[in-house]
Amino acid sequence: MLKNLVTTFIVSIGWLLLLSCDFGGTEIPTSPVEENTGKVAPTMISKDAMCSTSLEQYVQRGKYEVGVRTLYFHDPSRQFDSWNARHASNGYKAVIEEINASGENQIVVAHMWYPVDAGDSTRETTLEDFSYSDSRLVKNAYESGLQFALYGLTSEEGTGAGVSSDQESRSELWDEVKRRLINSLHQAPIADGNFPIVIAAHGLGGNSFGWMTFAEYFASRGYVVVAPNFISDSSLPNVLDSPDSRHAQATGLEAVDRAYRTIFGESKVIPGFYKYFFDSDGSAGFGNAGTQSSLRAVPGGGQRVGEMMGEFFTQRVDDVETIIDGLEILNTGSESCASEYSARGQSKHGAQVCGLFTDSFNLESVGIMGHSLGSMTAQFAVARSDRVAAAVGYNNGPPRYWEPEGIFGEGAARDGQPAGNPKPVMQIHGSEDAFVQSIFRGLMWNTLSAAGGNPEDIWVLEQERVLPTDENPQPIARNAYNRATGDKVIISVKDVDHDSLVNDFPSVISERTPIVVDGTKYWNAIRPSSRKAVGQDVLTGASSGESYIPLGWDTIGDYEAYMPTFIRNYYTKNWFDFYLKEDKEGLCFTENIVEDKGILDIRSDVRSP
């Protein structure tokens, strides 16, 4: 079981952790689309969109300390985890049936980071403290994930390989890691103010913990960051820890742990691809896509996968709406909040949190961002919800056949394709995202073709069939940008893979901030990697083979910065400052400020005043 939990958390570590414009009276021409290539010609940049703030400030934290708290959001109108009840294994379905028999509603568990006035005396928090749960299984899963982060460490003596094999060294390293302080204060009182909200959606198998350093940075700069653990696919969806969980109250902690063994331990989504495409149990992984000669395509399988993913994102977007509902209640006075929580069957949690956040949330300024499947979640949520103003997505754009029905409305984009997102969306992606390629090209093209299926049945838009190139490394994301009818930016970052923009471990435990055990320093090293295949090599499964050094540390003014984190924070902060705080300086998200240090390309079409 522990092996399954570690494997699931590995997913979260690996997959965890955008101008026609009238601004200042200057009209900027639109970005012409080159027909049937998936490419967009670069835009001109407005001279009025100058950034007066030095880049160094984006390396530093803001003026606030940061608080963190666990929140539970119940939705009485929905059954518990209806998506997995339809698409998971029979064993998983049995667990959900048992939970629903207790009268359980849909529950969303989230960590919330928020500004705290400097000088707050609340006790400091360590990594070990971060998992607040009575369940030993939850704590074990959390700690297993952290310990996995040790496997990639190196040392001054070059004994990186020994870290993973030497149990004594690993134990000593873990003792040091879990005592390391994080920059959050557990349950500290929120600062005076009315703060905009950013919801952070994890990718496949991810969890709220993966957003910790991102959330601390943004909370220190006056945002409230809410990071859910989606029950659909999170590696740590400890929803039954809710003090108002009917199932936990009816069955006790032992039964909760039994349910968690299945909820935490079973892989999600990818087995569904194999189930519906090939009528397979998914025991063969997508990593050996080119060798699965026994697979046979099932007629209508692509349609079933499209329906499965549409339902997946519908549940996630519903969960986002449930979070905003809960924040609206928390924003009211103590009595009103307690009454509303009681009506939702959450009187115990209401007693814990009501009155703590009255008038603290600016719910007219809500944004959402996410990674991988979380990127798609963010893009769908901003399109559907009238309460979400803008979105940012890292390393994934939604393909047409995964869209929930009608999510983008009717009509056509200007190049004749079906209309895309009508709301402001920024996408940031890496040039070396082999994981996205392994799904969209490896599994859903090569493997499907070898099994007798026709990939064009699922890739219904010609522009989505474009092969990846060095200039267009993510055609699906680029075409989502092309189709979008609202404000949009897409940024390509060189020498960055699927998780580098959200995986902050290299900056948390680096050569500059190492772990020291018996005088030996251990840290995350930036190791050489191999570039992903492009062009026709994608269809043969061949690797381009060229070695490169992933984007790492560089100087920003007088500071050293881990560039994937710096680029993410710079563009994301300016985007949300512009749309959520109405800060016109935020429009510098259209500028390539680090061309020689990581940015390959920026394309934008922003019409906002």
Residue 87 lies in a domain: yes
Residue 432 has pLDDT above 60, yes or no: yes
Model pLDDT, residue 53: 65
Instruction: Match 């390539």 to its residue by tokens.
Output: 592
Tell me which residue of 487, 482, 488, 490 sits closest to 414, measured CA to CA.
482
Average pLDDT of the residues in 277-297:
65
pLDDT tens figures, 456-483: 999 999 999 999 998 899 999 999 999 9
SS (H, E, C) 70-125: EEEEEEEEEECCHHHHHHCCHHHHHHHHHHHHCCCEEEEEEEEEEEECCCCCCCEE
Residue 261, domain CATH = 3.40.50.1820
Better-scored residue on pLDDT, 404 or 520: 404
Please give the pLDDT value at position 588.
81
The string of pLDDT tens digits covering residues 288-298 is 444 456 899 99
Q: Is residue 522 part of a domain?
A: no
> Residue 151 falls within a domain, yes or no?
no
In sequence order, what DSSP letters do the residues of 22-36 get, joined into one string?
A: EETTEEE---PEETT
When pLDDT is cut at 50, 70 and 90, the band that residue 120 belongs to is low
Within a domain: 176: no
Task: Express each pLDDT in 500-540 by its tens digit.
Answer: 999 887 777 777 788 887 778 888 778 888 888 888 888 88
- Is pLDDT of 170 > 90? no
Residue 80 belongs to a domain = yes
Percent of the chain with pLDDT over 90: 58
pLDDT at position 13 = 35
Count of structural domains within the chain = 1
Task: Tell me what pLDDT residue 37 has.
Answer: 33
Q: Is residue 398 part of a domain?
A: yes
| pLDDT recorded at residue 501 | 93
DSSP 296-328: -PPTTHHHHHHHHHHHHHHHHHHHHHHHHHHHH
Q: Which residue has the higher pLDDT, 294 or 431?
A: 431
- Domain limits for position 337: 2-41+65-134+191-507+532-605
Q: Is residue 165 part of a domain?
A: no
CA distance 233 to 256: 18
- The 10 Å CB-count burial string (b at 16+, else e) for 113-126 is bbbbeeebeeeebe
Indicate whether 54 pLDDT > 50: yes
Residue 14 confidence class, pLDDT cut points 50, 70, 90: very low
Q: Full-prediction pTM beyond 0.85?
A: yes
Of residues 125 and 433, more confidence is placed in 433
Q: What is the pLDDT of residue 16?
A: 33
Average pLDDT, the chain: 84
485 within domain boundaries: yes
> What whole-number distance in Å separates Cα of residue 603 and Cα of residue 492?
9
